[in-house]
Amino acid sequence: MTHVIRPAARADILRQYRFYLAQDALDAATRFLRAVEQSIGQLVKTPEAGSPKIIRNTALAGLRSWPVKEFNDVRIYYLNRSGLIRILRVLHGKRDLRKLLVTTSEEP
């Protein structure tokens, strides 16, 4: 199985990384990047492991979420279609998820 990280998800990852840097937490920033990579690797191995999400955006039917290892407040939102894991967003739980996900499309 392969995966693709959408531009919005890449921006989310960078935003969270920069947040840790701004907090003068270089170690946390580095661990976060490693944890995202490991968590995506886990999803590639077991794509059905994530929790299903119900959302009104029909383009996101089958949306699932998975926590970033050691950063459980940050979740990876993804679709598993045709043997391809599409990482759509990587968001902290305190964000307005409904608003952010309602405008998300599933195209890679």
**C-alpha triplet 43, 91, 105: angle, nearest 5°:** 75
Distances (CA, A) of 91 to 15, 67, 80, 83, 85: 10, 10, 18, 23, 17
CATH class of the structural domain 2-102: alpha beta
* 108 residues of the chain, pLDDT tens digit each: 799 999 999 999 999 999 999 999 999 999 999 999 999 999 999 999 899 988 777 778 889 999 999 998 999 999 998 889 999 999 987 766 666 666 565 554
The strand pair at 64-68 and 71-81 is best described as: antiparallel
pTM: 0.88
Q: Measured between alpha carbons, how far is 11 from 41 in angstroms, rounded to an integer?
A: 19
